[in-house]
């Protein structure tokens, strides 16, 4: 195992419909609380002026604001200064988002249509660009390594963590601030998801339930500080967990529908386990993509059966989307953050609103209530979970997380 | 400032100070007639934003080049007062922002 760098988690942060903070998120989820109201997963507790000046609030789109606040929590937890405790040119910023600053873009469009092009805000472009959080984080933290916006729809957040993992493993950088952010709640996005029948017309997030009718749109961000193990140990950082590996694939099947057997998802899970050098038997939990669409939940279930075979029914899996909705490009990162903390607590968080079994879905989806993880090895050795993210465009991302 | 009457110097001073403090988080103590845009920590995109706010609230159009980073706050105030006095009723525009 000494042939490549290990990549550990030293800080996590989240802004979600359950509140501000990663522990707030996992407290709420494990207690079975929902952040969804009126059919939307909005971050109602979030006031950007609690964290940013009026000028910053005006210049940063809501998705960037989420990323900055989640990153602030993660970097504080990791002890990343300021100043940052490693060479700034050896730190990356990699943040996923699907649609970027769509609110800024729509407001600019409105002003332009109503009052002419001269009324478009001066910072419309830096506000709407999908790479804004990566760039703004670099600027604010003074980090000068590779800085990337990652766009792979609902896999963006997971893919951002994958890219950060690769950058650190390869030795190109020693650390990264990474995650995903999204602020997609607007009439256009709701209409667009609704017409393709991806959005729940009843506004209920019911992954794996027989009554599921689509996802609930949510917003927020999840961020992590990742570091090479030796860098974290050298500076005496607290280590929260480890990104053991990752797997990526594409269905190459349809623009938005998953391959019905979950072949692409299974490929990503297998790639992830191989990359992590983890046997399937070691996996004790799966943070499901679990959108609550008719198609995803069947395909994901079949993919888990393909990868885990007979043992599939003994691997508990649950969907955070049942509690906060679908955070699109932030989902994979927020779910990875929650998985790290759930593993640390030795808790298997629940799938909320799962009350009516579907005959085709017969795995252990942790309905309604959290469970304690079975104790093992006196509770000290790391426990292993997968975090699945699948996106429109056929993108699949799976992370293997230990904590 | 309803856009119908020329603005007084006092009105413009009050308005610009309010924008700089509220919208740009600039310390009120730094807001002096001799202060340059650069010394207030403003950059060229900030000037575009300020021109948009001035157009919206004062119905005065600042052209590119009217205000530079070296311009003093006093010069900017003078310019807005002068343009406000020069504008005819035709120049009055509806609010474009906020």
Domain that holds residue B64: 9-82
Number of structural domains (chain B) is 1
Contact between residue A150 and residue A196 where contact means Cβ atoms under 8 Å apart = no
Instruction: Tell me if B35 is assigned to some domain.
Output: yes
Burial of A186 (0-12, 13-18, 19+ CB in 10 A): middle
> Is residue B1 a part of any domain in this protein?
no
Q: Is residue B42 part of a domain?
A: yes
- Give chain A's mean pLDDT: 97
Helix, strand or coil, per DSSP, at residue A242: strand
Q: Give the ipTM of the model, two decimals please.
A: 0.79
* A110 part of contact set with chain B, CB < 8 Å: no
- pLDDT confidence of residue B90: 39
Has residue B77 been placed in a domain?
yes
Predicted pLDDT at B88: 56
Q: Give the whole-angstrom CA distance, residue A136 versus residue A129.
A: 11
Calculate how close chain A gets to B30, using CA atoms only, in Å: 17
How confident is residue A349, by pLDDT bands cut at 50, 70 and 90?
A: very high
pLDDT at residue A359 above 80? Answer: yes
Is the separation of the CB atoms in A329 and A14 below 8 Å?
A: no
Cα gap A270→A308, rounded to integer Å: 10
How many Cβ atoms sit within 10 Å of the Cβ of residue A257? Answer: 16
- Cα–Cα distance between A220 and A63 in angstroms, integer? 7
Q: Is residue B44 situated within a structural domain? A: yes
Q: How many CB atoms lie within 10 A of CB A201?
A: 10
Are A233 and A256 spatial neighbours (Cβ–Cβ below 8 Å)?
A: no
pLDDT at residue A375 in the model: 87
pTM of the model: 0.94
Return the closest-CA partner of residue A162 out of A143, A145, A179, A141. Answer: A179
Residues 23-42 of A with CB under 8 A from B: none
Q: Which two tokens stand for residue A218?
A: 């949510």
Closest residue, chain A, to B61 (C-alpha)? A118
C-beta contacts of B74-83 below 8 A and 24+ residues apart:
B74/B33, B74/B34, B76/B16, B76/B37, B77/B9, B77/B12, B77/B13, B77/B16, B77/B33, B78/B9, B80/B7, B80/B12, B80/B16, B80/B54, B81/B6, B81/B7, B81/B8, B81/B9, B81/B12
Q: Are B25 and A54 a contacting pair at CB < 8 A? A: yes
Q: What are the structural domains, with CATH classification, of chain A?
A: 7-241 (3.40.47.10), 246-402 (3.40.47.10)
- Per-residue confidence band for A380, with pLDDT thresholds at 50, 70 and 90: confident
Pairing status of strand A347-348 against strand A371-372: antiparallel
Residue B88 lies in a domain: no
Pair of tokens at residue A239: 């280590």
Among A69-73, A115-119, A214-218, A349-353, where is mean pLDDT lowest?
A115-119
- For the segment A339-364, the average pLDDT, to the nearest whole number, is 97
Chain B contacts of A122, Cβ < 8 Å? 45-46, 48-49, 52
Of A110, A57, A111, A54, which is closest to residue B56 (Cα–Cα)? A111
pLDDT band at residue B87 under the 50/70/90 scheme: confident
Q: Which of A48, A49, A55 to probe by mutation at the B interface, max B CB count within 10 Å?
A: A55
pLDDT exceeds 50 at position A213: yes
- Spatial distance between the Cα atoms of A301 and A363, rounded to a whole number of angstroms: 7
Q: Which helix (H) or strand (E) holds A91?
A: strand A91-96
CB proximity B63 to A under 8 Å: no
The CA–CA distances, whole Å, from A93 to A118, A295, B35 equal 33, 34, 36
Asked if residue B91 belongs to a domain, the reply is no
Summarised one tens digit per residue, pLDDT across range A150-173 is 999 999 999 999 999 999 999 999
Give the number of other CB atoms < 10 A from CB of residue B34: 9
B59 located within any domain: yes
Contact A122 B96 (CB under 8 A): no
Residue B98 has pLDDT above 50, yes or no: no
Average pLDDT over residues B3-10: 82
What gap in Å lies between CA A168 and CA A6, rounded to an integer?
8
Say if residue A286's pLDDT is above 70.
yes
- Asked if B23 lies within 8 A of A55 by C-beta distance, the reply is yes
Task: Tell me the CATH number at B47.
Answer: 1.10.1200.10
Per residue in A135-148, pLDDT (tens digit) is: 999 999 999 999 99
**CB-CB neighbors (< 8 A) of A58 in chain B:** 23
Residue A388 buriedness (CB in 10 A; 0-12 / 13-18 / 19+): buried
The DSSP secondary-structure symbol of A241 reads E
Using the beta-carbon criterion (under 8 Å), do A54 and B52 form an inter-chain contact?
Answer: no
Active site positions of A, annotated = 154, 289, 326
Q: N- to C-terminal Cα distance for chain B?
A: 15
Verify whether the Cβ–Cβ distance B23 to A53 is below 8 Å: no
């Amino acid at each position: 195992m000494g042939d490549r760098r290990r990549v550990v988690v030293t800080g996590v942060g989240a802004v979600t419909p359950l509140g501000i903070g990663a522990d707030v998120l996992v407290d709420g989820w494990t207690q079975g609380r929902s952040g969804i109201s009126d059919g939307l997963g909005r971050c109602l507790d979030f006031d950007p002026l609690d964290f940013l000046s009026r000028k910053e609030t005006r210049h940063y789109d809501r998705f960037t604001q989420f990323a900055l606040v989640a990153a602030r929590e993660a970097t504080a937890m990791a002890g990343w200064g300021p100043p940052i405790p490693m060479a700034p040119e050896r730190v990356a910023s990699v943040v996923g988002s699907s649609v970027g600053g769509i609110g800024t873009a729509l407001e600019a469009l409105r002003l332009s249509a109503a009052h002419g092009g001269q009324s478009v805000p001066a910072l419309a472009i830096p506000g709407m660009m999908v790479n804004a959080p990566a760039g703004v984080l670099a600027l604010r933290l003074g980090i000068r390594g590779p800085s990337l916006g990652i766009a792979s729809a609902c896999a963006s957040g997971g893919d951002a963590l994958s890219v950060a993992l690769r950058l650190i493993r390869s030795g190109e950088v020693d650390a990264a601030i990474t995650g995903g952010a999204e602020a997609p709640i607007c009439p256009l996005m709701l209409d667009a998801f609704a017409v393709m029948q991806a959005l729940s017309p009843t506004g209920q997030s019911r992954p794996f339930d027989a009554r599921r009718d689509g996802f609930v749109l949510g917003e927020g961000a999840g961020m992590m500080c990742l570091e090479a193990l030796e860098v974290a140990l050298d500076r005496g950082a607290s280590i929260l967990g480890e990104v053991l590996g990752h797997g990526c694939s594409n269905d190459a099947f349809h623009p938005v529908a998953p391959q019905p057997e979950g072949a692409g998802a299974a490929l990503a899970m297998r790639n992830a386990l191989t990359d992590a050098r983890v046997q399937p038997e070691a996996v004790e939990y799966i943070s499901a993509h679990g959108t609550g669409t008719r198609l995803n939940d069947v395909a994901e279930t079949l993919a888990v059966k393909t990868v885990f075979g007979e043992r599939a029914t003994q691997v508990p899996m649950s969907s955070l989307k049942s509690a906060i909705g679908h955070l699109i490009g932030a989902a994979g990162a927020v779910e990875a953050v929650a998985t790290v903390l759930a593993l640390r607590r030795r808790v298997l968080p629940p799938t909320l609103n799962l009350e009516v079994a579907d005959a085709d879905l017969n795995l252990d989806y942790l309905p309604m209530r959290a469970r304690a993880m079975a104790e093992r090895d006196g509770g000290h050795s790391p426990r292993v979970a997968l975090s699945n993210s699948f996106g429109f465009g056929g993108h699949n991302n799976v992370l293997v997380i230990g904590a | 400032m309803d856009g119908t009457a020329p603005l007084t110097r006092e009105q413009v001073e009050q308005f610009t100070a309010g924008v700089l403090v509220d919208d740009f988080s600039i310390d009120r103590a730094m807001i002096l007639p001799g202060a340059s845009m650069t010394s207030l920590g403003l950059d060229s995109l900030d000037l575009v934003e300020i021109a948009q706010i001035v157009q919206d609230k004062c119905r005065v159009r600042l052209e590119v080049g009217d205000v530079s980073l070296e311009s003093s706050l006093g010069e900017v105030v003078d310019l807005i007062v002068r343009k406000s006095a020069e504008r005819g009723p035709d120049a009055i525009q509806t609010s474009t922002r906020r």
